[in-house]
């Protein structure tokens, strides 16, 4: 049986178990005092029926591929098994490929191995189906015994649900660990072939891999400095737009604007935050970049058609609402007494803002700006669509630069084998990106939290 069919069978049997357990409890209620509601007995019976079966099914599905692979290797002739590990691996892959084609292959040896594999898989599935159904049914049988109604069903059910809730909140930890491990593991494999010093401090990036091993320049150079300079350059342009505009917007809306203006202006600006980044990318690549190029040419400057300036400006626009809403929060958190005190001394409103509110809110604002910067560095679609592809070590905003995220996308889209340094380089870049944004976030969140505590 297919694993999805098995899940449906388990669910159906659990339902049967629920009704069995509940009716059993309802009957028992006539003669004795029960510790819980009949429905709780139903839930407990359903859990008995479903949980062991699901655990078995998942464990089986996790172990099965490895077991079947070993079976293939065990069935291979000695002439192949004695070869070095990679050749065996390749052979097994060929067998699996043949299995995917329904067990047909040009090579009779592979076809025989594939046949054995399919047979082993069929046997394994028959055994699995039988075990799962036996487990589910035994849960139902168990629900019919007197043992069920002697239990405190509500406590048992609630304990299980509570564990399930806890596991769900653990998904956040598992995700983080998954990110760190998957990126770190592939990055370490990359650093086996390229030294970490060359990667972090190298100034030349040309990740070509050769078609033939003896080709000139087949190794490629992986110096990530131009990518980081590009990322920082574009983010810097974005911050130059977003910080003044976002901060002044927040100040105006929280200190000057009437309630009515504020209640329309704030959601309108937040539309900017809700627009997908791919839309900004389209706008940057097809409208802003040609406009800047035309503008530059009209004053005699040569501007690349994929200039850092265009991508940076559009990214800045995207971040405006982010900066403004974070600054808005911290400005509103400044106690009213400080404003009143300053105004009472005769300061104008702008003097109050500049000399009292901003200094008081500064840590929070800096935290917000750092968060915005981490978003700018990690932003992908705008730069993929509007920034260049070739690594160019420059700080001139009119030239085309490439970024870390652009290179990750170009290295990993398209069909290539997974083990080449070219694809592994993407994971090394991902690791650097993850570490740098994580550092920015941790510092920013720390500053913001410290600041909140100050005024709470």
Partner 1 sequence: MNNTEIVKRGLGKRYAREKRFRLYGRCAVFVGFIFLALLLVDIIVKAMPAFSVTEIRVEVDLDRDNLGLPAEGPVTAKMLAGVNFNGAIRKGLREAFPEATSRKQQKALYSLVSSGAWFSLSNQVADNPQLIGQKKVIWFRADDDVDTYYKLGRRTSRIDDLQAGYIDAMDGGNLIRTAFNTALFTNSDSREPEQAGIRGAVMGSFWTLLVTLIVSLPVGVAAAIYLEEYAPQNRLTDFIEININNLAAVPSIVFGLLGLAVFINFFGMPRSAPIVGGLVLSLMTLPTIIIASRAAIKSVPPSIKEAALGIGASHMQVVFHHTLPLAMPGILTGSIIGMAQALGESAPLLMIGMVAFIVDVPGGIFDSATVLPVQIYLWSDSPERAFTALTAATILVLLVFLTAMNAIAIYLRRKFERRW
Contacting partner 1 within 21-80 (CB under 8 A): 65
- Residue 321, interface with partner 1 (CB under 8 A)? yes
| Residue 290 C-beta: closest distance to partner 1, Å | 12
Taking CB under 8 A as the rule, does residue 433 contact partner 1? Answer: yes
Establish if 102 lies at the interface with partner 1 (CB under 8 A): no
* b/e 119-128 (16+ beta carbons within 10 angstroms → b): ebbeebbeeb
- Binding to partner 1 by residue 393, rule CB under 8 A? no
Among 94, 121, 120, residue whose Cα is nearest residue 107: 94
DSSP 353: I
Q: Is residue 239 involved in binding partner 1 (CB under 8 A)?
A: no
For partner 1, which stretch binds (CB under 8 A), given 125-133, 222-230, 295-303, 371-379?
Answer: 371-379
Burial of 372 (0-12, 13-18, 19+ CB in 10 A): buried
Give burial (CB, 10 Å; 0-12/13-18/19+) of 398.
middle
Calculate the CA 228 to chain-centre distance.
21
Q: Considering only residues 12, 161, 197, 345, which one is a binding residue for partner 1 as defined by CB under 8 A?
A: 161
Q: Which is nearer to partner 1, 186 or 399 (CB)?
A: 186
- The stretch near partner 1 (CB under 8 A) out of 122-130, 168-176, 206-214, 292-300 is 168-176
Quote the least distance from Cβ 134 to partner 1, whole Å.
27
Straight-line distance from the first to the last Cα atom of the chain, in angstroms, rounded to the nearest whole number: 60
Give the interface segment with partner 1, choosing from 47-55, 303-311, 359-367, 412-420 (CB under 8 A): 412-420
Residue 362 is a binding residue for partner 1 (CB under 8 A): no
Please provide the DSSP assignment of 79-122 as one string.
Answer: HHHTS-HHHHHHHHHHHHHHHHTTS--SSHHHHHHHHHHHHHHH
379 binds partner 1 per the rule CB under 8 A: yes
Is residue 293 part of the contact set for partner 1 (CB under 8 A)? Answer: no
CB count, 10 Å around CB of 252?
Answer: 15
Q: Which residues inside 301-320 make contact with partner 1, applying CB under 8 A?
A: 317, 320
Rule CB under 8 A: is residue 294 a binding residue for partner 1? no
Question: Look-up: residue for tokens 């069978």?
Answer: 9
Q: Least distance from C-beta 152 to partner 1, angstroms? A: 11
Among 122, 150, 152, 162, binds partner 1 (CB under 8 A): 162
Is 380 among the residues that bind partner 1 (CB under 8 A)?
yes
Q: How far is the CB of 130 from partner 1 (least distance, A)?
A: 25
Q: Which of 349, 359, 389, 455 contacts partner 1 by CB under 8 A?
A: 349
3-state secondary structure of 222: strand
Backbone angles phi, psi at 206, to 5 degrees: -145, 90
- The token pair at 345 is 């001394």
Give burial (CB, 10 Å; 0-12/13-18/19+) of 264.
exposed
- Cβ at position 266, least distance to partner 1 in Å: 10
Q: Tell me if 388 contacts partner 1 by CB under 8 A.
A: no
Residue 280 backbone phi and psi in degrees, to 5: -60, -40
Minimum CB distance to partner 1, residue 36 (Å): 9
């Amino acid at each position: 049986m297919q694993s999805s069919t098995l899940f449906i069978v388990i669910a159906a049997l659990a339902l049967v178990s629920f009704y069995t357990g509940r009716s059993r409890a309802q009957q028992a209620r006539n003669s004795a005092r029960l510790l819980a509601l009949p429905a709780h007995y139903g839930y407990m019976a359903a859990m008995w029926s479903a949980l062991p079966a699901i655990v078995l099914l998942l464990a089986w599905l996790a172990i099965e591929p490895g077991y079947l692979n070993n079976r293939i290797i065990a069935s291979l002739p000695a002439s192949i098994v004695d070869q070095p590990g990679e050749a065996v691996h390749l052979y097994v892959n060929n067998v699996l490929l043949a299995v995917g084609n329904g067990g047909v292959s040009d090579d009779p040896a592979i076809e025989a191995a594939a046949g054995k594999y399919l047979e082993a898989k069929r046997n394994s599935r028959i055994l699995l189906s039988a075990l799962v159904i036996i487990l589910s049914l035994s849960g139902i049988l168990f629900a019919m015994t007197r043992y069920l109604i002697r239990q405190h069903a509500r406590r048992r059910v609630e304990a299980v649900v509570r564990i399930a809730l806890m596991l769900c909140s653990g998904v956040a930890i598992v995700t983080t660990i998954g990110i760190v491990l998957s990126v770190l593991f592939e990055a370490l494999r990359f650093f086996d072939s390229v030294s970490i010093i060359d990667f972090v401090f190298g100034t030349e990036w040309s990740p070509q891999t050769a078609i033939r091993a003896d080709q000139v320049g087949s190794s490629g150079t992986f110096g990530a400095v131009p990518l980081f300079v590009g990322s920082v350059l574009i983010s810097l342009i974005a911050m130059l737009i977003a910080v003044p505009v976002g901060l002044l917007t927040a100040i105006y809306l929280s200190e000057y604007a009437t309630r009515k203006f504020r209640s329309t202006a704030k959601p309108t600006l937040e539309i900017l935050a809700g627009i997908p980044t791919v839309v900004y990318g389209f706008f940057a690549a097809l409208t802003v970049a040609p406009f800047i190029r035309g503008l530059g040419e009209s004053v005699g400057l040569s501007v690349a058609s994929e200039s850092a300036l265009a991508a940076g400006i559009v990214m800045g626009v995207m971040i405006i609402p982010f900066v403004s809403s974070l600054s808005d929060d911290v400005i509103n958190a400044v106690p009213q007494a400080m404003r009143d005190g300053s105004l009472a001394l005769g300061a104008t409103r702008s003097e109050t803002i500049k000399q009292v509110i901003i200094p008081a809110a500064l840590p929070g604002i800096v935290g917000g700006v750092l968060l915005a910067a981490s978003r700018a560095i990690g932003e992908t679609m705008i730069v993929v669509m509007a920034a260049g592809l070739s690594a160019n070590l420059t700080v001139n905003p009119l030239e085309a630069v490439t970024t870390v995220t652009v290179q990750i996308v170009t290295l990993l889209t398209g069909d290539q084998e997974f083990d080449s340094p070219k694809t592994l380089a993407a994971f090394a870049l991902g690791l650097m990106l993850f570490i740098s944004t994580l550092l920015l976030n941790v510092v920013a969140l720390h500053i913001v939290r410290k600041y909140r505590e100050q005024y709470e």
